[in-house]
Amino acid sequence: MDSVSVFSSAKKASIVTRLDKNLLGMLLEDAKSLELKTHEHLFQFGQAATHFFWIRSGEVAVYRPSYDGDEKVFRILKSGDTIAETTMFIDDGQYPLGAHALTDVALYKIPRQSLLALCQHTPAMAMYFLESMAVAVSQSVNRIDLLTMGNSAQRMVSYLLELYQQARSAWFSLPVRQAVLARQLNITPETFSRQMALFRRAGYIGARNSGIVLLDIEGLCRSVGVPVPKLDLKIPRRRGASLGDGLFQCCGYFKQTLS
């Protein structure tokens, strides 16, 4: 693939904040363009992981199939996101999740060896990936802590507070549909919807479509028995402490760490 044309079409993707034109060309030299129709699979859970992917346009859901035949969606990935790049560092690795298109999707399919070669010849990139994986481990610990909280209402409030801190504003949007978010928090969609309605009626939050506003943070916390946090939005958010957008990432870190 011609590195100049690839660079031109990929300018807006977050990876280029760490890769100059030459390094980007090295990474994408053997990449192939791929297009998927809505609902078409990119890869299946357990399939041999020989490539990772860089989304040019559209949306992709990464999910884990459940025993009852349903899907637990871990994250919705969009233009500029990468998929499964950290899995490339595992010898004979398998994709830990499945991925399918939610819309028509255009992406780059990049061979595992291209990424490994770049890291071998560029120590700074290797260190970047080590840092990304360390952040992921920290987030995994936070996620386990969140999902083992006593009840669904506490998990919801803790998640909303994290989104509030990420947005640096009482106004923010949910990153995914409520039904998807409910499953990510290990809550039934019905329970999630009912609890949100209770919060609204009590005057703790306001909502419009996917937009949320926290009207009474102290009251919201006290209503579910969660300590009222001391959030100073003037202090920059620490790396690795995020629960919100990064909470359910498992195989795509570029956008999280570079945005």
pLDDT at 134 over 70: yes
- In eight-state DSSP terms, residue 94 is B
Residue written as tokens 């106004």? 171
Phi, psi of 126 (to 5 degrees): -60, -40
Rounded average pLDDT over 26-51: 92
Q: Is residue 234 very low, low, confident or very high in pLDDT (cuts 50, 70, 90)?
A: low
Confidence of residue 188 (pLDDT cuts 50, 70, 90): confident
What CATH number does the domain located at 140-259 have?
1.10.10.10
The residue ranking higher by pLDDT, 7 or 210, is: 210
- Per cent of the chain over pLDDT 70 is 76
Higher pLDDT, 211 or 209: 211
In this predicted structure, what is the pLDDT of residue 169? 85
| Domain ranges within the chain, ordered by starting residue | 3-121, 140-259
For the record, the structure tokens of 150 come out as 């006593």
HSE of 181, CA atoms in CB hemisphere, 13 A: 22
Average pLDDT for the chain = 78
DSSP reduced 3-state for 212 = strand
User: Which segments of 78-160 are extended strands (E)?
Assistant: 82-83, 98-101, 105-111
Whole-Å CA distances, 139 to 40, 164, 170, 215: 30, 17, 23, 27
Question: Taking a C-beta distance cutoff of 8 angstroms, is the pair 49, 27 a contact?
Answer: no
pLDDT recorded at residue 59? 92
CATH number for the domain formed by residue range(s) 3-121: 2.60.120.10
pTM: 0.64
State which H helix or E strand residue 27 sits in: helix 21-28
Q: How many Å is the maximal CA-CA distance in the chain?
A: 58
Tens of pLDDT, residue by residue over 78-103, are 888 889 988 999 999 999 999 999 99
Say if residue 164's pLDDT is above 60: yes
Cα torsion angle, 115, 116, 121, 122, sign: positive
